[in-house]
Amino acid sequence: MTSNSVFTRYLPLLLLAILWEVAPRLHVVDPSELPPLSAVAMAWWGLLTDGDLWTNGVSSFINWSFGLGGAILIGIALGVLMAWYQTVDDVASPLVKALYPMPKSALIPVMILWLGLGAGSKIASIGMSCLLPVILSAYNGARGVDQALIWSARACGASEREVLWEVILPGALPEILAGIRNAVAISFIVLVASELLVGQRGLGYLISFLGEGGVYDAMFAVVITVSALGFFADRAYLYFMRRTLVWRE
Amino acid sequence: MERVESPWRRRILRSSSVVILAAAWEWAARMHFVSDFLLPSLSTVLMRLWSDIVSGDILVGLGLTMARTFAGFSMAAVAGVIIGVTISRLRFVRWFFDPIVSIGNPLPKIAFLPIFILWFGVFDWSKIAMVAFSSVFPVVVATWAATESVDKYLVWSAQSLGVTRRQLLWQIVLPSAMPEVFTGLQIALPISLIVVIICEMTMGGQGLGGSMMTSMRFADSPGVFSGIVAIAIVGSALVKLMELLRARLLVWHQESARR
């Protein structure tokens, strides 16, 4: 893409940004309800330099990575186990399918009840919410592996462990990676929601703290930051996913 | 031996898991492995749910939650389909919305909640607007992709039979895009429900999420658990409903014949 076509492509965003700056300045909208973009940028710089953004960002990142990471590891293990053993499948899959459509946000109050107001309940909420999509994708992926591949691996004398690591897991990988992308999106929703609800730390907490204090330019700055993090997490994951699946054509 | 399992064994195993889980829950609570507060027994929770149904409390909450969900969801559905169709038909609209959709779709929209509270207050409108904002993107993306990829031969044959642009849209493009558009709606509805419940939990205003949060603040754990059970039932019922609706609306489509 030439620089000119990139400019035309993203011109609408630039126009929106200009509108955001000009409309509150001319009092077309109330500047207390929509602070001008430049004020938001200044507030963002302020939060960045006095460290608020860092400390809260780090604590959000810890919750997010533990919750999502745990869900990915446990989810893949459970999903493959379900696909591998008929008995596990028979027992677990009705449960997984019954719980899958449950709105994930409903788990947050129970996790607070069990684990209190600190990081534990947030990690657990994120983990529980991301678990089912990962389980289901690993299960579907592992079941979808071509049976002929497994037979030929066995015929070549592969042990069960080798079949698992070198046939089932690579074969299930595309579905697993797609499921994880789903889980990444959910993890951000639950992270922000759980921090908005209760807590003393984290970006979600910072948003609600600034909002309640009426510091709206800074609140907008944190909202934009969280959105940008969610966006770039998705893009980075997509890039990683394409790189990983290069061998599949 | 493993290969020739009797179908009965499987059927029993399949139906047993829920029963076993329920029994384990009841047993663990009765044996007081954990305190009643952390895990009230299943029977307590179900009794609580039943008494809330009889007293009508849960019906009020359910009604509020559903009203907010469907108000926001239908706004998202109508706006999403209109935007999606116009994107694929008008170059100007596409130019404007293309970067907005590609950036807006993966955003964690829930972070905008305090901004919506600031703009629309803490009552119903902010919740409805939040739901519409969160669930409009999947509908736009699905509609856009669907109307873009309509079978060329269908369009050409219709044109050679002399349809107008309007007829082409209503009789060829929209019907053949229907399955994919409906898939977008099936993605958007669960999102709507998730968002409604988060909004009710943060802003109050009753509803299923609001009353769960109230129970939690009053350390009323049967209330929290009966809330979860109710929300889980509603979630599955809505997903099921969308599947039935899909089978009904797309009865003319090939996908329905496959079964």
Domains in chain A (CATH in brackets) are 37-248 (1.10.3720.10)
Considering only CB atoms, A223 lies closest to which of B112, B190, B221, namely B112
Contact B108 A110 (CB under 8 A): no
Write down the ipTM of this complex: 0.85
Considering only CB atoms, B201 lies closest to which of A197, A211, A226, namely A197
- Residue B148 is assigned to a structural domain of this protein: yes
Domain count, chain B: 1
Residue B241 lies in domain: 40-257
CATH number at residue B213: 1.10.3720.10
Which 172-201 residues of chain A touch chain B by CB within 8 A?
185, 188-189, 191-193, 196-197
Take residue A208 and report the two structure tokens written for it.
């609600």
Which 105-144 residues of chain A touch chain B by CB within 8 A?
105-110, 112-114
Handedness of CA A163, A166, A170, A171 (dihedral sign): negative
- Res. B6 pLDDT band, cuts 50 70 90: low
Mean of pLDDT values over B196-221: 88
Which of A98, A125, A101, A127 shows the shortest CA–CA distance to A111? Answer: A125
pTM of the model: 0.87
- Decide which of B27 and B254 is more confident: B27
pLDDT at B3 over 60: no
Question: How many contacts does A have with B, using Cβ atoms within 8 A?
Answer: 153
Mean of pLDDT values over A215-240: 91
Amino acid B2: pLDDT: 44
Q: Which residue of B has its CA nearest to A226?
A: B111
Query: Which of B8, B21, B62, B194 should one mutate to test binding to chain A, selecting the residue with the greatest count of A CBs within 10 A?
Result: B194
Percent of chain A with pLDDT over 90: 37
Q: Which residue of A has its CA nearest to B208?
A: A106
- Residue B96 is assigned to a structural domain of this protein: yes
- pLDDT tens for A46-62 read 988 888 889 999 999 99
Chain B residues with beta carbon closer than 8 angstroms to that of A87: 13
- Residue B20 is assigned to a structural domain of this protein: no
- pLDDT tens for B18-60 read 788 888 888 888 887 778 788 888 888 899 999 988 888 888 9
Amino acid B18: pLDDT: 78
- Residue B5 is assigned to a structural domain of this protein: no
Considering only CB atoms, B201 lies closest to which of A90, A108, A192, namely A108
- Residue B179 is assigned to a structural domain of this protein: yes
Contact A99 B232 (CB under 8 A): yes
Chain B residues with beta carbon closer than 8 angstroms to that of A208: 114, 202
Contact A101 B190 (CB under 8 A): yes
- Residue B77 is assigned to a structural domain of this protein: yes
pLDDT at A174 over 60: yes
Q: Which residue of B has its CA nearest to A186?
A: B108
Contact A90 B216 (CB under 8 A): no
Which of A184, A185, A215, A219 shows the shortest CA–CA distance to A205? Answer: A219
Chain A residues with beta carbon closer than 8 angstroms to that of B198: 105, 189, 193, 196
Quick check: A231 contacting B, CB < 8 Å? yes
Mean of pLDDT values over B196-210: 89
Chain A residues with beta carbon closer than 8 angstroms to that of B115: 219-220, 223
Amino acid A76: pLDDT: 94
- Residue B33 is assigned to a structural domain of this protein: no
- Residue B97 is assigned to a structural domain of this protein: yes
Whole-angstrom distance, CA of residue B31 vs CA of residue B19: 18
Lowest pLDDT segment from A92-101, A162-171, B74-83, B90-99? A92-101
Quick check: A78 contacting B, CB < 8 Å? no
